[in-house]
Each structure stands twice: as C-alpha cells, then as structure tokens.
A and B are shown apart, each in its own frame.
Chain A
Amino acid sequence: KAGVTQTPRYLIKTRGQQVTLSCSPISGHRSVSWYQQTPGQGLQFLFEYFSETQRNKGNFPGRFSGRQFSNSRSEMNVSTLELGDSALYLCASRLTSGTSFYEQYFGPGTRLTVT
C-alpha cells in the first residue's frame, strides 16, 4: 500500500502571499490530520478532517484553513503568509475502525519557507 503523500515537498513563498498544501492519505483511511512543526513550538495540531467535515481545530488563526474531498484527499491553505508560518507541515491519516484505530501514519511533510 502506498504511504501518505504530500505535495509539494518544498515551497518558498513571500510574506503576504497564500499557499495551498496537498495531502493524499493511505487508501482506505478517511481521517486526515494536519500538524505544524517548528523548532520553537514543536509539533502542534492544526485540524482533523473526516468524511469531508472538520472534526477538530487547533489553536491557530483563521488564516489557516483546510478541506477534505470525497476521495479523502485533503488540502490546507494559509493566507496572508507571515514569517512565523515557516515550518514543516505534516499530514497524517488513520483508519477509524479495526485494530489500528489509534495509529496515525504520517507523510514526509512540506517544508514551507516564508521570506
């Protein structure tokens, strides 16, 4: 089975621009979560989607948004980029039934640099 894929892997943007990151979960996984990782704040939860609905949202400003499509693929969008948005953005998918109920499978991440 193919793993979680994220595109693009690297991105350089300018302050004020917006960016869209994409995540394709493992086939059969309907839950997709997004995390931001920075050296200062560590790994922080952004949001979780299940069946095209946002289930949970972390403590991030409204500039951060996401969505999930009917094939479970997910995108996250950051508008009006700030320097502090430079981070590794990780996507994770999981099954929602069976013995692997709690395990998350992570993608390789998208490294976003804002200049």
Chain B
Amino acid sequence: SQQGEEDPQALSIQEGENATMNCSYKTSINNLQWYRQNSGRGLVHLILIRSNEREKHSGRLRVTLDTSKKSSSLLITASRAADTASYFCATVPLRGGSQGNLIFGKGTKLSVKP
C-alpha cells in the first residue's frame, strides 16, 4: 500500500528555476528518503532525513520534514536539464517498519527544459 503521496504529479520548469516537490504520508515514521528515477530505470538515493530532523541539505537539494503535518518537501535549486526524472519519497514506518522495506509514494515527474 502507498504510504506517501507526492504533489504535484508532474512539474515542468525552465533550466535555472527551482523545483519544489511535496510528499505527505500517513503513519509515524522512522525516516523519510527521496529517490530519483530516470526513464523507468533503477532508483538513485538522494537524501535521507530522520524523524527528529527538520531540514537537511545536500548540494542543490534541500529537504524539510514536518512530522506534525506528516509531510516533507524536496527543493532542487538552479535546476538543470539533467534533473529531468521522476522523484519519489519513501518512508520507513516507526511501528513494524524495516529499513529494507521502503514504502514509496507515486512520484513527481519533473521535466526541466533547456
């Protein structure tokens, strides 16, 4: 079953602009992760934020987590055409969860036009 719901489902921007994707989830979590997938290929881990963290940065990526609202956002700054991909949030539930059993949202399809 899906735990997370990403919003928007699709996003189209110009190179250089910022892209923001949101994720909401249903149950309390241990941590939340963001992954990128290019054209139906394997997923690439981008960043992990633990339930006791509120914000995390990695290069051009900024992730926030609001456990009271059960939501997270991923910001990609100064986007490039190479950022074109689908982005998924994945959670590890606090109860009964396992690090090897990620629960994924449906993803946001990002298109960055040159």
Contacts and interface: CB of A to CB of B under 8 A. Distances in A.
A107 interface: yes
Interface string A56-76: 101100000000000000000
A58 B101 contact: yes
Contacts of B41: 108-109
Given A42-B105, A42-B107, A106 B42 contact: yes
Interface residues of A, number: 31
Contact of A56 (B45, B98, B106): B98
A33 B100 contact: yes
Given A42-B105, A103-B48, A109-B41, A59 B99 contact: no
Contacts of A48: 98, 100-101
Contacts of B92: 102
A94 B107 CA distance: 22
A96 B99 CA distance: 9
Interface of A: 4, 31-33, 35, 37, 42-45, 48, 50, 55-56, 58-59, 88, 90, 92, 94, 96, 101-109, 111
Given A42-B105, A101-B99, 7 more contacts: A32-B100, A43-B90, A45-B101, A48-B100, A56-B98, A107-B42, A109-B42
Which 5 pairs of residues, A with B, have the shortest CB-CB distance? A48-B100, A43-B104, A106-B42, A106-B43, A108-B42
18 contacts: A32-B100, A33-B101, A42-B106, A43-B88, A43-B90, A43-B102, A44-B104, A48-B98, A48-B100, A58-B101, A92-B43, A94-B99, A96-B99, A102-B33, A102-B48, A104-B43, A107-B42, A108-B42
